[in-house]
Structure 1
Amino acid sequence: MIGRFDHLPHRRAIVDRRVLADRVAALDGRDAAFRQALTMVLKDALIAGREEIDRRLLAHPSRGLEAGNAGAYLMDQIIHVAFDTVTDRLHPLANRTTGERLTLIAVGGYGRGEMAPYSDVDIGFLTPGPQTPWAEQVIESMLYVLWDMGVKVGHSSRSLTEMVRQAKADVTIRTALLEARYIGGDHDLYDEAGRRFAAEVQRGTERQFIADKLAERDARHVKMGDSRYVVEPNVKEGKGGMRDLHALFWIGKYVYNVQRAADLVEVGLFTPQEYRQFHRADSWLIAVRCHLHMITGRAEDRLTFDVQSEIAARMRFSDRPGKSAVERFMHYYFIQAKAVGDLTGVFLAHLDERFAARGRRFGLPQMLTGIRRRPGKLNGFVLDRGRLALPSDDFFAQDPVRLVEIFQLADLHGLEIHPLAMRAASRDAKLIDDHRKDARANALFLDVLTSPRDPALVLRWMNEAGVFGRFIPDFGRVVAQMQFDMYHHYTVDEHTIRAIGLLARIERGELKADHPISTAIFDQIVSRRVLYVAVLLHDIAKGRGGDHSILGAGVAKKLCPRLGLSAAETETVQWLVRYHLLMSATAFKRDLSDFKTILDFTDIVQSHERLRLLLLLTVVDIRAVGPTTWNGWKRQLLSDLYEAAEEVLRLGHKERGREERITAKQAALADALDWSPAALVVYVQRFPEAYWIAEPDDVLLHNARFVARNGHAPLAIDAQVYPERGATLVTIYATDHPGLFYRIAGAIHVAGGNIIDARIHTTRDGMAIDNFLVQDPFGGTFDEAAQLQRLRVAIEDALANRGKLDDRLRDKPAPRTRADAFTVEPNVLIDNRASNRFTVVEVNARDRPALLNQLAQALFQSKVMLHSAHVATYGERAVDTFYLTDLTGDRILSATRLKALEKRLLAAAAGKKIDLAA
């Protein structure tokens, strides 16, 4: 199209087609040497052009459309020169017939005139009828030239009739051809193709095209995670990404024949303000994609952690108090993604009026289930085909409390909200500022938050409209706020809304299989609204530069009375927010068989009601982090802690006698085994008291049968899937010797396993029986025969000193290189108060291969006895906790020894060589 790139400044600095054509013209011959020389000249021009575009992008890092247009312009000039050269010099045709016409077109994003540096070059060749030998030669030569340049080409070659037939049959082909643009060849043929496409493909199929594109969009969203607030978004294909904007333009172009996005205003699909929003989001997302391509040197569309910081720097984001540059960059990204969602809603509302059949709508949110017969009006709102709508444009201005009421009514009656009402709510959201303390508004909001139906859906609508953040300003501060780590999958606001939704599902009994205890105790909760408010507020103070639990409790103290909670309810919400991490930290980082762990926990909890509330808050908080964070092992640990704490609280903080607990476990073992009393006594006397306290009944039974099978063998290894804990139980029975644990830990890693828990025991006759819970790198069980065999062989080799374990560990590639994008300062915390019998050491470090092996080696070199190890991983951060004594079985109290131990562990955590003389 003439003038398509006229707006680009200094175009010849990107590529000068005349100069390029002259260089090609100066090349000699027509043989293979000429083709090679042609390729080099064109490739040099491509590289130089990309460098110039990148220089401009760095100078103006948010001008994505200009960079995208420049990329398409550069490719246009190169392809134009290549096409002229191929048709004039390589395959000249003196007397061309009407059947030997050929047109070269750009399609897809290239046809639209927007190309990131390493995007595919989508081109098409059109002929009036079946391809002639000359056309085949030209097409083949063109493709080889582009391939030799290193360009990834998406191409097609069709006759006009084939073009029409295939476009009718395939919506993807139809969409690509919708944006076809002339590059070279016979222009009359190009014009004829356009006329036939409009008359034979486009006309009369508008409704079906809309339905197809929206179905395609929905499928893509599901594939990409169905949220625009994932912390590693796909800039092109993800929800709220470029493809969503493209879909709007495609629909507008197909239905109204618009040529530019700005024309969507003239046909009434956007207001001028909404077009500006569209243009800003489009340009910014293209800019991000261009930066992403230049950094990675390939067609990369996923905004992974390892590139986010660099793009933030290229786009000139800087640190601010409480928020890093990368977090500010991603916050702005999510604001643009949200804008894309808002635009989609109002765009589809306009299409709805014209194209949807009665009772059917395109692409709008699915209605809530259980819809009752609806009245014609609700509290002054009107119903437009089953959706809440406004009777007048100033309806919210007349009574701003209606900005909350519309969402309460939507929840109560199972209604959708008309997109034009959502548009008005977004526009008027600021009006709620002066009504935040209105008792009616707060009661309506609390109704939505604590709804027994689907509060997450309606709260998400409220958040999309901007009303949520305006009504609860503290929540507004975390809207679109990402957390730059590998643990959290969603922004803070999305995580919070998901947690509320999970709580409602547990209350309805929908997650009983995953959360049996949580489901069972929900009916015992005295004040359910306390729990829902606590879930809303548990992360509300993130990003403020301090402990978000403490700061969040302060927010709760101010906000809860406004919402209508009593002083007692407010105090409970404050406590829950302040201690919302207590239960997970205790369960995952401490030895639950050590009774002081339970006593310390219950000293803080103090009541059954708080214990129930805290369990439910902990469960939904963990599960809402991401799709893979919850597993059977976490469920088991939280259940064990809950049951132990509940017993202590019920019995008045009195520990059931240690001897009584040991006797009960040994009696249960005797009942499960078909052993003679004498054999059982001999077996029981081999193990110290700590063994009977530490292991659960099922592991004690497994160990007994395993030991009985292997007698006094110097080494026996067993591995069995432990489905209740979502892991594989690996048991090693061997002659005890120094360094046993760190060798086993290294061997398990070599075999591809991650240790999540370990208990180490020594019998009175010098045998070690160690129990490890092991998962694969993705949090699953080792359940394949080959995996288990590999595990056994690796452990046998390590304990027999076959092969150098350290070399094998160094040679094993890191399974997750993305962790390299993060800095975690190693930290060692030594606590002699957490246990009456052990010194408890907690090590924080960046997760990496063989970390546990190196820490265990440092413990071995420090000449301490390891009794249990507990491994917790939070994305890139590993938290390993060890229960230790000195070689005489006492806690380590010497300040000198503790300092040396800390030094060795810090070195191991940092991946440095351990100083043996320390």
Structure 2
Amino acid sequence: MSHSSTSETPAISLEPAISGQLSPDERMGLFQQFIENGQQTILAQHREGAGGVEIAEARSHLIDTLIASILEATIRAQKIETSPMALVATGGYGRNTLNPGSDIDLLFLLPRSSSKLPKKIQELVQRILYVLWDMGFKVGYSCRSIAECIIEARADQQNFTSLLDTRLVAGNELLYERFTARFEKECLGKNQIAFLETRRQDLRSRYKKSSYTVFLQEPNVKESCGGLRDYQNILWVARVKTGSQDIEKLVEEKIITPSTLLELQEAYDFLHRVRNELHYHTEKSTDILTLQLQGVVATAFRYPQKSILRRTEAFMRDYYRHTRHMYRHTNSIMETFKIEDEQIAETGLRSYLTFRKKNREEFDGFVARNGRIYPANQDIFKEDKHRLMRLFQHTQVRNLRLSPQMRRLIANHWKEIDRPFRYLKANRETFQAILERKGEVARILRQMHRIGFLGRYLPEFGALDCLVQHEFFHRYTADEHTLRCIDELDKLIDNSNPRFDIFKRFFHEIVDPYALYLALILHDTGRSENVREHIDGSAMLAVKLCSRLQIKGSRRALIMFLVDNHLTFWRTATTKNLEDPEVIAEFAAIMKTPENLDALFLFTYCDTNGTAPDAWNGWKESLMLQLHIATRRFLVEGRETYTKKLNTDRQSLLKDVTKLMKDEHSKDIKQHFDRTPAAAFAYREAHFISSQIQAVRSLLESEASGKNGDAMSVKWIDQPQKGYSELLLATRNRPLHLEKLCCALASEQINILSADLFTRTDGIVLNIFRVCTTNFEPISNTSTRKRFLATFNELLESQNHKPEDYLKRKTNFLKKRTESTLPVPVRANISNLLHPTCTTVEIQALDRIGLLHDLFQTVNEAGLDTSHARICTEKGVAMDTLYITTGDQKKIEDPELICSLEEKFNQLISRPETS
């Protein structure tokens, strides 16, 4: 609890307002002018580089002076001799730190119960609040007597916590002193267990939301791991455990070292400075450091790098460095106070040797005690510096954690991890042994990384430390993403979900886990190389590391294959037409062997899951499985057998459909199989083909009736396990249908995952759209379907439809871009090299409602057809591939037309977002 023995002295400039010389409007004007002048001065100090805490304290002092003046002016106006109450700051204001957009938390400490207040005191409270509200301040307030404060604090831990941070701003000093004395005696002295449990739950819930890492792509400067709340937790717990909220007392009591204190204070100041800038820039209480705001802050802080990307990288490295210090030290202090143990990520299955019941064990210069490893003495690494590597093997096989003493000793010997250390055969062999223990690797690599060892032993990986990634679908920094990929691999060992049995089996069958783990460590290292394609940089670094670690032959070939192709599986599955045998043949040529295919599928599973908690969904899984099954069959059976098998599968499917449908449909069935392209049947089940046939029949009946000149047939097929619905539209080849269909879907906020268009020889087109909600769920709501259909019919009847009349603009998370924000990588590329019969258009752009409609419209206006589309949206960024042809179903060979199209697409996707 902060104590202030005297009230703030009102500013001389406010004396006319206090003395009663001014009218109410003049008094308010003077208060307003005082605050505006003060805040401009503080903003100027911030812009000149003042510390974060310095600015927050300056604003707190400014508000103190204002409130003291308002109280004095109000008391005099009511002809009250002395203040009957105390105005007490609580929360952040009570800690004397008030960021520009933060609320003013005030406690009106009353001389008697709030329900028995004289009218004069009630009016006094109201007048003070009205002045603050009229000036535009957000005030969180409570009116309580001392007894009511004590009752509330003992009944609710949040109230208890807020009253730990109190400070007298103005008013009755004696009343405030009586309150602090009772609070010390009746709350601090008694409710400790419940309070510490509240702090424990706060840590756990906040850390869980942040995935137990500071390395989020868009962290919350207040609530995320290593944020301001961690520092406040230290103060609160120290107050209860030691009786003092002075963090420097923790050094005196040898709970932390002077260097730890310095790192905590520097981190706290830096975070306040960041929060100040966020509040100033957004003009509100903004705490999430989004991608575009990172560029804003980096520029405001005058990072010297020339490009916005490099400034952002430098700033975020500093941010992660400070929050990492805060997070680590918070965990250590909480362990010391026995509030919370360090979060342990480990698999459920371990060697039975790790469960040995030994309280104490000595080996190789180390001591194991109560699950932690300690140095036998301070000279163990001077005696043998290669113990630095063996240490981690010991923690792996014995399931130990590093003690604080061990962490400090390693940090003191970082210089020993030099070039000879990296080249030594014994160290290479120990590192290999660590990586060969399937399912037990991620925890050890995290230990290595947290203490700074891994980046020194593998400089290729070390360059990723705190490196922010500019792909918008990544949630973590490059180093954290890599470690989470390895977490996902380890977790397969004891994953009991049958859905992931295939990956568990692949992992079990991997004969060289060392190569797989190394490839995961290396796959994104090229992001630090400042090359156009990070894969190229990763491959170069993989060659370098393989040479240093003396990796040769098939092991080296597997590592290089996985690093070179780590995005190939994902890109093929999400952008190519998987029903096309040529696509499978091309992909199989890259894979070469079934073993490579399985390893890359497993790798892709880990890589995708490591980007964000929800990155692996039913839609992606179904595409990847389809690609894997088809390619494996191609590799095992060969092209000729594979093609024959497709024909055999088609004949078998024909029989199944015939059994499923009634005899009266036999003619329709035969015509459909004769007139429809083979790709429409690939990997389809009989019930889906029957839906195609029924849709065509419904269309023909509608045309025959003559009632509808623009006949069509729509059917919905839910795929709940895959997280989407299939929308089947049978119609004649009218390009505007596709545009208007996309417009109608967008009007209901329906997300398009992919689109297949199959044209029968009789001119009937089957449009198959895989669609889902924004939460990757099927479109099962009947009302949504009805509204979509009504909108679609309305659009079909209109001659000149305007998409903006039907679409509600979504506020995009990348909106309001300025020169100081990270640019969205926008590009449109047209190629005749990626597909044997179609010209491809690859789009990457800021997503917006109606984008797909505009893309199809551009194709139609050029007199071209869209034969297939792969649609993908990741965190506000659209990554779409359209396969287009001329009217006679050929590639576009006219270079002028290609150039014109590319220019139009680039203009379209560069169009600024509007409200």
TM-score, normalized by length of structure 1? 0.90
Tell me the equivalent position of 2:705. none
Structure 2: runs of 5 or more not aligned? 703-710
1:667 alignment partner, one of 655, 661, 684: 655
Give the match's secondary structure for 2:216.
Answer: coil
Tell me the equivalent position of 1:814. 810
Tell me the equivalent position of 2:855. 855
Deviations 1:610-646 (A, max 9, x none): 1111111111111111122221111111111111111
Structure 1 distance, partners of 2:124, 2:776, is 53
Tell me the equivalent position of 2:708. none
Give the match's secondary structure for 2:845.
Answer: strand
Assess if the C-alpha contact under 8 Å between 2:238 and 2:245 holds in 1: no
Structure 2 distance, partners of 1:709, 1:693, is 23
Change over 3 Å in CA distance of 1:791–1:411 after alignment to 2 = farther
Assess if the C-alpha contact under 8 Å between 1:386 and 1:415 holds in 2: yes
Tell me the equivalent position of 2:473. 487
Shift of 1:709: 5.0
Tell me the equivalent position of 1:18. 12
Structure 2 distance, partners of 1:362, 1:911, is 51
Structure 2 distance, partners of 1:88, 1:879, is 67
Tell me the equivalent position of 1:801. 798
Letter in 2 for 1:814: K
Tell me the equivalent position of 1:126. 109
Assess if the C-alpha contact under 8 Å between 1:111 and 1:180 holds in 2: yes
Structure 1 distance, partners of 2:444, 2:782, is 47
Structure 2 distance, partners of 1:490, 1:367, is 17
Give the match's secondary structure for 2:663.
Answer: coil
Give the match's secondary structure for 2:528.
Answer: coil
Tell me the equivalent position of 2:888. 888
1:362 alignment partner, one of 324, 340, 356: 340
Shift of 1:454: 4.4
Structure 2 distance, partners of 1:2, 1:412, is 49
Tell me the equivalent position of 2:643. 656
Within 5 Å, give how 1:503-522 maps onto structure 2: 503-513=489-499, 515-522=500-507
Deviations 1:850-872 (A, max 9, x none): 11111111111111222111112
The worse-fitting range, judged by mean Cα deviation, of 526-535 and 314-323 is 314-323
Change over 3 Å in CA distance of 1:81–1:585 after alignment to 2 = same
- Does residue 578 of structure 1 match 2:564? yes
The worse-fitting range, judged by mean Cα deviation, of 268-277 and 63-72 is 268-277
Assess if the C-alpha contact under 8 Å between 1:825 and 1:845 holds in 2: yes
Structure 1 distance, partners of 2:799, 2:109, is 66
1:299 alignment partner, one of 279, 285, 288: 285
TM-score, normalized by length of structure 2? 0.91
Change over 3 Å in CA distance of 1:703–1:122 after alignment to 2 = same
1:733 alignment partner, one of 710, 730, 733: 730
Tell me the equivalent position of 2:457. 471
1:82 alignment partner, one of 54, 58, 70: 70
Give the match's secondary structure for 1:768.
Answer: strand
Shift of 1:119: 0.7
Assess if the C-alpha contact under 8 Å between 1:561 and 1:567 holds in 2: no
The worse-fitting range, judged by mean Cα deviation, of 155-164 and 612-621 is 155-164
Letter in 2 for 1:786: S
Structure 2 distance, partners of 1:16, 1:234, is 36
Structure 1: runs of 5 or more not aligned? 7-11, 353-360, 914-918
Structure 2 distance, partners of 1:55, 1:673, is 78
- Does residue 248 of structure 1 match 2:240? no
Within 5 Å, give how 1:418-817 maps onto structure 2: 418-433=403-418, 435-513=421-499, 515-546=500-531, 547-560=533-546, 562-563=548-549, 565-654=551-640, 655-657=642-644, 659-660=647-648, 662-676=650-664, 677-689=666-678, 691-692=680-681, 699-709=688-698, 711-713=700-702, 714-801=711-798, 804-808=801-805, 812-817=808-813
- Does residue 52 of structure 1 match 2:29? no
The worse-fitting range, judged by mean Cα deviation, of 711-720 and 606-615 is 711-720
Assess if the C-alpha contact under 8 Å between 2:3 and 2:167 holds in 1: no
- Does residue 237 of structure 1 match 2:223? yes
Give the match's secondary structure for 1:301.
Answer: coil
Give the match's secondary structure for 1:652.
Answer: helix
Structure 1 distance, partners of 2:543, 2:659, is 53
Structure 2 distance, partners of 1:4, 1:163, is 19
Give the match's secondary structure for 2:884.
Answer: strand
Structure 2 distance, partners of 1:51, 1:93, is 34
Shift of 1:341: 1.6
Assess if the C-alpha contact under 8 Å between 1:346 and 1:420 holds in 2: no
Shift of 1:79: 0.8
The worse-fitting range, judged by mean Cα deviation, of 455-464 and 851-860 is 455-464
Structure 2 distance, partners of 1:866, 1:711, is 23
Structure 1 distance, partners of 2:320, 2:634, is 46
Assess if the C-alpha contact under 8 Å between 2:84 and 2:111 holds in 1: yes
Letter in 1 for 2:376: P
Structure 2 distance, partners of 1:198, 1:573, is 63
Structure 1 distance, partners of 2:875, 2:801, is 30
Shift of 1:551: 1.6
Shift of 1:527: 1.7
Assess if the C-alpha contact under 8 Å between 2:714 and 2:727 holds in 1: yes
- Does residue 845 of structure 1 match 2:845? yes
Shift of 1:212: 2.9
Deviations 1:119-145 (A, max 9, x none): 111121223432431433322222222
Tell me the equivalent position of 1:65. 53
Assess if the C-alpha contact under 8 Å between 1:40 and 1:149 holds in 2: no
Give the match's secondary structure for 2:836.
Answer: coil
Tell me the equivalent position of 2:391. 406
Structure 2 distance, partners of 1:411, 1:405, is 10
Deviations 1:179-230 (A, max 9, x none): 2111112212222222222222212555554343122221222234432111
Q: CA RMSD in A?
A: 2.9
Structure 2 distance, partners of 1:460, 1:224, is 17
Deviations 1:545-587 (A, max 9, x none): 1122122122222323555644321221012101111111111
Structure 1 distance, partners of 2:308, 2:14, is 52
Assess if the C-alpha contact under 8 Å between 2:488 and 2:610 holds in 1: yes
Shift of 1:276: 1.0
Shift of 1:42: 2.2
Deviations 1:760-789 (A, max 9, x none): 233333333211111233433323222222
Letter in 2 for 1:872: C
Structure 1 distance, partners of 2:825, 2:369, is 57
Shift of 1:154: 1.8
Assess if the C-alpha contact under 8 Å between 2:2 and 2:95 holds in 1: no
Change over 3 Å in CA distance of 1:807–1:214 after alignment to 2 = closer
Structure 2 distance, partners of 1:683, 1:128, is 88
The worse-fitting range, judged by mean Cα deviation, of 101-110 and 772-781 is 772-781
Give the match's secondary structure for 2:525.
Answer: coil
Shift of 1:876: 4.2
Assess if the C-alpha contact under 8 Å between 1:411 and 1:453 holds in 2: no
Number of paired residues? 885
Give the match's secondary structure for 2:597.
Answer: helix
Letter in 2 for 1:113: N
Structure 2 distance, partners of 1:806, 1:684, is 37
Structure 2 distance, partners of 1:766, 1:130, is 84
Assess if the C-alpha contact under 8 Å between 1:485 and 1:875 holds in 2: no
Tell me the equivalent position of 2:706. none
Letter in 2 for 1:291: E
Letter in 2 for 1:377: E
Structure 2 distance, partners of 1:857, 1:670, is 39
Letter in 2 for 1:789: K
Shift of 1:489: 0.5
Shift of 1:448: 3.9
Shift of 1:264: 2.6
